[in-house]
Amino acid sequence: MRTINTHYSPSTLEAAIAHLRASETAHLEALKRATLGDASALFAADIIMYGVAQRSLMLIDGFTAMVEQSNYVCGVPLLRLQLDNIMRFHSLWLVSDPQIVLEALLKDTPFNKLKSQDGKPLTDAYLHEQLSQLHPWVSEVYKRTSGFVHLSTPGILSGVTHVGDASNRTIQMYIGSKAGRKWSDSDKKEAVDAFIAATDALLHLFVSWAVTKERGAQQRMKEQDSSSEGNRAK
C-alpha cells in the first residue's frame, strides 16, 4: 500500500501483528474510562462506542488472521471497515445531537440521509474528508482500500501471477484458494501499520468522548455548587 507513515511502526511484521492484537487492552481501558466519566451515566454515544469497539476487536482478529494466511483479498477490505468505524464514530462530533446517529444505526437508516450541523449529508466522501482534517492519511487509505470492497482492479487481477512484455504477450493466472498473486511481507507490514494507525485514531476518539463526559460532569458540579452557595446566601 505504501500510503502512510504512522507515529508508531514496530520493526518487524510479527511485532506489528502482536502490537495490533494487544490493543484489546487499550480498547477496554478507554471504554471503562468513558463509562465512569459521568457517574456511569449512559449516553447515546456510549452505546455506539460499545458497538464500534466490539466491531473493531473482531475486525482486528479477522485481519491479523488474513495477514498470517497471506489472503490480501480478504484482509485489505477489513482495513476499510476499520476506517468505517472511525468515520461513523467521528460523525458524533459533526451532528447536532448524537441521538440521531444512534437512531439511524438502530433503524438501519442510510447514513447519507443524516445531515451535519452545517447541513451536509453524511456521505462516506464527506465523512472521510472531515476525518482527514484530523488524520491526513485517511483519504488516501480510504480510496485505496475501497477498491477491494467492490469488484474492481484488485479483484480482477488477484489470480494473475505474471504478465509478459511487449515481445511476449502472455499472461499467467492461477486460480484456487492457495493460488493467485502473493502478498509480500513488505506489503503486509504496510497494511498492518495502516491498521495500527486506524485503530489508534479510533481509540483517540474513544478517549475524546471520555474527556467530554468528564468535563461535562465537572461543569455540572460547579454549577450545582454555585447554585447551592447562592441559596445559602439568600
pLDDT digits (tens, 9 = 90+) for 10-42: 889 999 999 999 999 999 999 999 999 888 789
Helices 44-68 and 24-35 meet at what angle, rounded to 10? 180
Q: Is the pTM of this model over 0.75?
A: yes
Instruction: Using pLDDT thresholds of 50, 70 and 90, give the confidence band for residue 185.
Output: very high
CA pair distance 30, 37, nearest whole angstrom:
10
**Residue in this structure with the C-alpha cell 500510503, named with its chain if needed:** 3
DSSP helix/strand/coil, 150: coil
pLDDT of residue 162: 60
Is the CB of residue 199 less than 8 Å from the CB of residue 60?
A: yes
**Number of residues that this document lists for the chain:** 234
The per-residue pLDDT for range 119-156, each reduced to its tens digit, is 999 999 999 999 999 999 999 999 989 888 876 566 55
* Residue 114 one-letter amino acid: L
Is the CB of residue 98 less than 8 Å from the CB of residue 104?
A: no
Is the CB of residue 140 less than 8 Å from the CB of residue 190?
A: no
* Residue 106 one-letter amino acid: L
Instruction: Using pLDDT thresholds of 50, 70 and 90, give the confidence band for residue 4.
Output: very low
Q: What are phi and psi of 162, to 5 degrees?
A: -160, 140
pLDDT of residue 233: 56
- E strand spans, the chain: 160-163, 171-173
